[in-house]
Amino acid sequence: MPAQPGKTRIGLIGLGIMGAPMALNLLKAGFQVKAYNRTDRPRVRQVVEAGAELLKTPREVAAASDIIITMVTDTPDMEAVILGEDGVIHGAARGAVVIDMSTVSPRATQQVAAELEKKGIEMLDAPVSGGDVGAQNGTLSIMVGGDQQVFDECVPVFEAMGKKITLIGGHGAGQTTKLCNQIAVSVNNLAMSEALMLAAASGLDVEKVLNAISGGAAGSWQLSNLGPRILNGDFAPGFMVRLQQKDLKLVLGAANDIKLALPGVSLAHQYFNIVERAGGAEEGTQALIKAYEMQAGKQARKG
């Protein structure tokens, strides 16, 4: 059973790559789960078989839940499921909590929180990092924005899905933190691509170079996890280029709002455009190297 009594009826809207395993972990932790997904998919049926009740609209889910989690793709999707015609706002009771765990705009998050507040509904923004594997294993890092008291009430719910759970500040602070995360991830990826490309274009054994630099001051998650995939020609997605591009647009939008220049991110975004134009939108983010390979006329592969 959940760690503490109180808000134990959970609604989950968006049973995608991330939302479906999160629902399974909530059920495993003993929470009652009501769910909604726009499309009937095998992973939706898997969540129902595990004990969730599937309802027809986000409004119905909200009406039957104390805490309503949304895990959808982008900002307009989050706005649609919360504020739209059959949205959460029309079903949730006063005192209910909406937790948006999608990666979306911090500014839109603040606006949605203000709309919910008018109806006495609380909101936390709680985007995650750790990928589909983190969602399956319940080891996500969760970055939260909102009120301390509301956060405290929701900790047992977060603990069912994640390991590192941090309240950063007020509404939007979780989303801004996630954008900081995406800056570090994408600019590291760019640095890795340039390093491997100079090695390949200089005729060096790229595998030896990768091993030599991975353990020193240049070491990173990107070099250790994505570097070997590039060398093996494995461009299957952990995290897709098109979702990375969505996040980089959010980063640049947030920076633009406060007139901050982030040239490293702009560069990564432009290079990912080259990859998307060449048909790589559904590939993993390690496909960034392809933008350099096209320029060099040479690939960074084993052997």
Catalytic residue ranges: 178
Across 6-38, b (16+ Cβ under 10 Å) vs e yields ebbebbbbbbbbbbbbbbbbbbebebbbbbbbe
Instruction: Examine residue 281 and tell whether it contacts ligand NAP (CB under 6 A).
Output: no
**Least distance in angstroms from the C-beta of 134 to ligand NAP:** 8
CB 68 within 8 A of CB 7: no
Half-sphere exposure in the Cβ direction for 62 (13 Å, CA) = 27
**Least distance in angstroms from the C-beta of 243 to ligand NAP:** 5
Stretch that binds ligand NAP, among 69-77, 106-114, 214-222, 225-233 (CB under 6 A): 69-77
Instruction: Examine residue 239 and tell whether it contacts ligand NAP (CB under 6 A).
Output: yes
Of positions 25, 57, 65, 129, contacts ligand NAP by CB under 6 A = 129
Instruction: Examine residue 106 and tell whether it contacts ligand NAP (CB under 6 A).
Output: no
> Among all residues, whose Cβ is closest to ligand NAP?
16
**Least distance in angstroms from the C-beta of 251 to ligand NAP:** 12
Question: Is the CB of 20 or the CB of 199 nearer to ligand NAP?
Answer: 20
Instruction: Examine residue 14 and tell whether it contacts ligand NAP (CB under 6 A).
Output: yes
Instruction: Examine residue 164 and tell whether it contacts ligand NAP (CB under 6 A).
Output: no
DSSP string, 41-100: -HHHHHHHHTTPEE-SSHHHHHHT-SEEEE--SSHHHHHHHHHSTT-GGGTPPTT-EEEE
Instruction: Examine residue 177 and tell whether it contacts ligand NAP (CB under 6 A).
Output: no
Tokens 């405290």 map to which residue?
Answer: 152
Of positions 18, 99, 123, 251, contacts ligand NAP by CB under 6 A = 18
Q: What's the burial of 137, exposed, middle or buried (CB within 10 Å: 0-12/13-18/19+)?
A: middle
**Least distance in angstroms from the C-beta of 8 to ligand NAP:** 23
Non-local CB neighbours of 234 within 8 Å, separated by 6+ positions: 286
Interface with ligand NAP in residues 27-56 (CB under 6 A): 37-39, 41
84 vs 71, 111, 239, CA distance in Å? 15, 14, 28
Which structure tokens are listed for 253? 């939008």
Of positions 54, 80, 183, 252, contacts ligand NAP by CB under 6 A = 80
Stretch that binds ligand NAP, among 70-78, 164-172, 198-206, 274-282 (CB under 6 A): 70-78
**Least distance in angstroms from the C-beta of 153 to ligand NAP:** 23
**Which alpha helices (H) appear in the chain, and where do they start and end?**
19-28, 42-49, 58-63, 75-83, 106-118, 131-137, 148-159, 173-201, 206-214, 221, 227-231, 241-257, 263-277, 289-296
CB 78 within 8 A of CB 72: yes
Of positions 57, 65, 102, 182, contacts ligand NAP by CB under 6 A = 102
Of positions 243, 265, 287, 291, contacts ligand NAP by CB under 6 A = 243
Residues forming the site for ligand NAP (CB under 6 A): 14-19, 37-39, 41, 71-73, 77, 80-81, 102-103, 128-129, 131-132, 239, 243
